[in-house]
Amino acid sequence: MMAEREKRRSEGERLDEMGEQFRARMDRLVPAEFRRHMMAANREFLLAIRSLLDTQIERLDRKEKEAGRKATRVNVE
């Protein structure tokens, strides 16, 4: 059990190290200004998706309210 946990921990550490190496290489290859622009573009994209979702949720809420307000015909004998 302990050996398996150690193995997983060491695999995680290796992945962390590989991630750090990748980031270091990217920092050398990709200018900081480009990274800033990409982060800003990613944020704007996510805000656009949020706006789309908010609009769709509002439409669903309106439809639910309208459905609840409609008169129902009841036949009385």
Contacts made by residues 31-34, CB under 8 angstroms, sequence distance 24+: none
Report the pLDDT value the prediction gives residue 36, as an integer from 0 to 100: 95
pLDDT beyond 80 at 8: no
List all residues 6 or more positions away from 9 whose beta carbon is below 8 Å from its beta carbon.
none
Closest to 45 (Cα-Cα) out of 34, 57, 55, 53: 53
pLDDT beyond 90 at 69: no
What does the block give as tokens for 34?
Answer: 């480009």
Task: Name the pLDDT band for 71 (thresholds 50, 70, 90).
Answer: low
Q: Domain segments of the chain: what residues?
A: 1-30, 31-66
pLDDT beyond 90 at 29: yes
- Give per-residue pLDDT as tens, 39-63: 999 999 999 999 999 999 999 999 9
What does the block give as tokens for 74?
Answer: 């009841």
